[in-house]
Amino acid sequence: MKRFITCVAICAVLAAGCMAAPPPAAQPVAPTAAPLTVAPPTVAAQPDLLKAANAFMSALNRRDVEAAMAMFTDDAEYRAAHVGVGKAQVRTIIEHLDGTRLRLLWSDCVQSGQEVSCNVFGRDDAMAVYGTPGVRFNPYTFSFKDGKIQKIMGTADGPEWAANSASSKECIAWLTANRADEWKKVTDEKGVLIRNAQTAPEIIRLIREYGKAND
């Protein structure tokens, strides 16, 4: 009996040894690090210069001198029939254009870098008296600096300029002969028009006198 028990015990031990050992516990997998990404460089928003050019010409048409002047840099230049260098001189020109009731029509505006070029047709009250349909600038170019107008350059284009010049000479000759004292008040010692906010309405008044006399 004792031998039987011993045999059973040995068999039990052998059987236990033959049983498959449990698999080792799974080790947690370390998370894979996400690849580093480089943020794209921040690009500063570019000003809408076409909108700025339109806003300037609209200000002239509605006779808002202050709105127009606020769009210029301190070192601004204006070179379109009249010439002014520096903001003070540019203001004198803009005030003169306002006094002559200049109206602008513009089309085909395109932006290239810091410049905007348009096809611009302008007509003031003097041209209305002369019967001139207006004069064209093509191109009429705005150069911008930090979103403000640094320079306006207008290139005369078309036969209207010659017609307007001829009418202007006839008018000046008549005024010199028939309104000499009044004409001297709006011209310098060389007979050149003094163009500013004060003289512009008087110049237009005298030109209308010429128009009435020559209807």
Whether the ω angle into residue 201 lies within 30 degrees of 0, i.e. cis, is no
- Domain architecture of the chain: domains with CATH: 49-213 (3.10.450.50)
Query: Which amino acid type is present at position 13?
Result: V
Q: What is the pTM of this model?
A: 0.77
Q: Tens of pLDDT along the chain (215 residues)? A: 444 444 444 444 444 444 445 555 555 555 555 555 555 555 445 679 999 999 999 999 999 999 999 999 999 999 999 999 999 999 999 999 999 999 999 999 999 999 999 999 999 999 999 999 999 999 999 999 999 999 999 999 999 999 999 999 999 999 999 999 999 999 999 989 999 999 999 999 999 999 999 98
Gap between the Cα atoms of 100 and 200, Å rounded: 6
Location of structure tokens 């460089």: 41
Number of H helices, E strands in the chain: 8, 6
